[in-house]
């Protein structure tokens, strides 16, 4: 008798779930990273939205460690850090003030900083450059921009002076915008860093972005093998189908 296990749609859904839970599967991580970017760029950085955005940052970091096959004490440490960041966001929301908010942003910046490190260390060990490798590299690039976004905003909040040379009130969306135009060296000029440490941060971010693109991404793209992803999905389907076959045999 044919059961639900023979339904092609159910099998496809199972393959998708297996791919999301599997190591070296950076598609889901990229989705979370984009969500983190959107949350910060629309200005959800105070009150309850700040707590939710911090929770997303924690989930992103934990998923990055899992996907990159980093387990044991490092994974436990990032899980603890994610909880600490979440509790700090709650406390910062209740206390209020720029310094409390800046402390939360510092913790988030440090938490985010761990993710491109573990992802990059993993994809550089890939023997074959697959689509997952490229998705991991894209995730790292976006994460680098978020690291500087959080760090620059924290410098302004904790330091008590404007990060930018331009006058006016500058919030989280300004720092996200400034971070990515700096990292891509577009430099529109509508926002520029003030003298001192902000300029140092700007130069460091521009160098980081360009070195990453020129040295790593260009190399990965040149080594990309399109057939690798197809074979990986076929292996997942075979594993799924074998498991379902065993369940059918047992039920019969």
Distance between alpha carbon 240 and the CA centroid of its chain, in Å?
Answer: 29
Number of residues assigned to the chain: 252
**Would you state the pLDDT for residue 224?**
65
> What is the residue whose two structure tokens read 């998923």?
63
Rounded CA separation 110/117 (Å): 11
**Would you state the pLDDT for residue 18?**
47
Distance between alpha carbon 119 and the CA centroid of its chain, in Å?
Answer: 9
pTM of the model: 0.77
Rounded CA separation 213/30 (Å): 17
**Would you state the pLDDT for residue 230?**
54
Strand partners, 132: none
Tens of pLDDT along the chain (252 residues)? Answer: 444 445 555 444 544 454 445 567 888 999 999 999 998 888 765 667 788 889 999 999 999 999 988 888 999 999 999 999 999 989 888 887 778 888 889 999 999 999 999 998 888 887 777 888 888 889 999 999 999 999 999 999 888 889 999 988 888 899 999 999 999 888 888 899 999 999 999 999 999 988 888 777 777 776 666 655 555 555 555 544 544 444 444 344
Beta strands in 29-174 (DSSP E): none
Tokens of 129: 């450059």
**Would you state the pLDDT for residue 16?**
47
**Would you state the pLDDT for residue 246?**
41
**Would you state the pLDDT for residue 167?**
86
């Amino acid at each position: 008798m044919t059961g639900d296990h023979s339904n092609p749609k159910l099998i496809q859904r199972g393959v998708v779930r297996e791919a999301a839970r599997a190591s070296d599967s950076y598609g889901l991580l990229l989705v979370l990273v984009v969500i983190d970017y959107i949350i910060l760029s629309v200005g959800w950085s105070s009150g309850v939205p700040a707590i939710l955005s911090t929770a997303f940052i924690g989930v992103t970091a934990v998923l990055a460690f899992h996907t990159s096959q980093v387990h044991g004490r490092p994974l436990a440490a990032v899980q603890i850090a994610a909880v600490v960041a979440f509790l700090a966001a709650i406390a910062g929301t209740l206390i209020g003030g720029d310094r409390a908010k800046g402390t939360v942003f510092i913790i988030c910046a440090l938490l985010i900083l761990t993710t491109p490190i573990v992802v990059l260390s993993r994809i550089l060990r890939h023997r074959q450059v697959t689509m997952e490798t490229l998705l991991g590299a894209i995730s790292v690039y976006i994460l680098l921009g978020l690291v500087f976004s959080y760090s620059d905003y924290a410098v302004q909040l904790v330091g008590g002076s404007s990060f930018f040379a331009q006058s006016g009130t500058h919030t989280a969306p300004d720092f996200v915008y400034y971070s990515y135009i700096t990292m891509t060296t577009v430099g529109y000029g509508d926002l520029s860093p003030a003298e001192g440490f902000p300029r140092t941060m700007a130069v460091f971010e521009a160098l980081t972005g360009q070195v990453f693109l020129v040295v790593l991404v260009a190399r990965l793209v040149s080594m990309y093998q399109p057939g690798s992803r197809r074979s990986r999905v076929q292996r997942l389907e075979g594993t799924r189908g074998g498991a379902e076959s065993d369940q059918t045999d047992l039920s019969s």
